[in-house]
Amino acid sequence: MISVYYFGAISLILIGLYAILTKRNLLKILVGLSIMETGVNLLLISVGYVSGRTAPILTEGATPQTAVDPIPQALVLTAIVIGVATTALALTVAINLYEKYKTLDIEKIRGLRG
């Protein structure tokens, strides 16, 4: 039986991929990209989960035996920031595209041919 975390994370990745592949509106594609990144982050974090343990913070009474794996949390922290940076850049490019082409339909944005 596949764990609900893995199932949910992979479903999110697939939903995001579906949106990127089928939508024609640029903003919807970017939403798909964000959903996909969220799914990946969830997958990463659930890889490090150990059932029944707490957050990996060294406090009174907490030992390495009672904490979940801290490495995926560091990875996800980095990946979230990278995802936000990519999204911000993509949105500025989308604004620029709308100003130049007056549309966000990717079928109509076709200046480059060859």
Query: Does 112 engage in binding with other proteins (CB under 8 A)?
Result: yes
Q: How far is the CB of 104 from other proteins (least distance, A)?
A: 10
Taking contact as CB under 8 A, which single stretch among the options 50-58, 59-67, 94-102 is the one that binds other proteins? 94-102
Nearer to other proteins, 7 or 100 (CB): 100
Query: Does 31 engage in binding with other proteins (CB under 8 A)?
Result: no
Distances (CA, A) of 11 to 103, 108, 114: 31, 30, 36
* Identified binder of other proteins from the candidate list 55, 71, 77, 80, rule CB under 8 A: 71
Q: How far is the CB of 60 from other proteins (least distance, A)?
A: 25
SS3 sequence of the chain: CCCHHHHHHHHHHHHHHHHHHHCCEHHHHHHHHHHHHHHHHHHHHHHCCCCCCECCCCCCCCCHHHECCCHHHHHHHHHHHHHHHHHHHHHHHHHHHHHHHCCCECCCCCCCCC
Query: Which residues of the chain form contacts with other proteins (CB under 8 A)?
Result: 13, 16-17, 20, 26, 29-30, 33, 36-37, 39-40, 43-44, 47, 71-72, 75, 78-79, 82, 85-86, 89-90, 93-94, 96-97, 100-101, 109-112, 114
